[in-house]
Amino acid sequence: MKCAHIEEMLSSYIEDELPAEKRQTVEAHLDACPDCRSLLSCLEATTDSLSRFPQAQISEDLLQRLHAIPARRKRVRFLPGFLLRPSLQPILAAATVLMTLVSFYTFNPNKDAIDKSINRQLHLGYRKAGKIYSRAEAFALSLGEHKDNILESIKSTKLFGRSEE
């Protein structure tokens, strides 16, 4: 059997987990192969060293920091809890939309085109408002011509079923 195949079984061999037949195969190979014998000795020394590693000493400073974690979490949790109150949600939603629009406008590479478009829309808006205002003025003037007739009609109108005296 090749050394590579024996190597795969050495760990189970030292832990005494190999079936009897495989154990005999490994032992027969070890008798004939000094390289695998040397590797087995190193493997045993390695596992022996590993099993004697001491637990590392933890510092007082770290212990204090670990004990402080739950209290720190409570302080950190206050902020999201406060922000998640239902009464604040419409305000936060509006702020989010506003921030999104502002950031879209601020960081858009076609900012100049957006500025022009906004100016054009504002200009069109002003013109429309101006037209409506001038029409309203003309309408008010035209009403002046029929002022007497309108007042007469209002006076003669029956209010709440009572006759005009």
- Tokens 């500025």 belong to 115
Instruction: Please report whether residue 70 would count as binding another protein according to CB under 8 A.
Output: yes
> Is 71 within 8 Å of 41 (Cβ atoms)?
no
x/- site string to another protein, residues 2 to 21, per CB under 8 A? -----xx-xxx---------
Q: Which of residues 32, 62, 91, 140 is near another protein by CB under 8 A?
A: 62
DSSP of 10-45, one letter per residue?
Answer: HHHHHTT-S-HHHHHHHHHHHHH-HHHHHHHHHHHH
Per CB under 8 A, the segment of 62-70, 87-95, 96-104, 144-152 that binds another protein is 62-70
Distance in Å, CB of 111 to another protein, minimum: 37
Contact residue for another protein among 16, 19, 55, 165 (CB under 8 A):
55
- 45-52 contacts: CB < 8 A, separation 24 or more? 47/14
- Shortest Cβ 53–another protein spacing (Å): 5
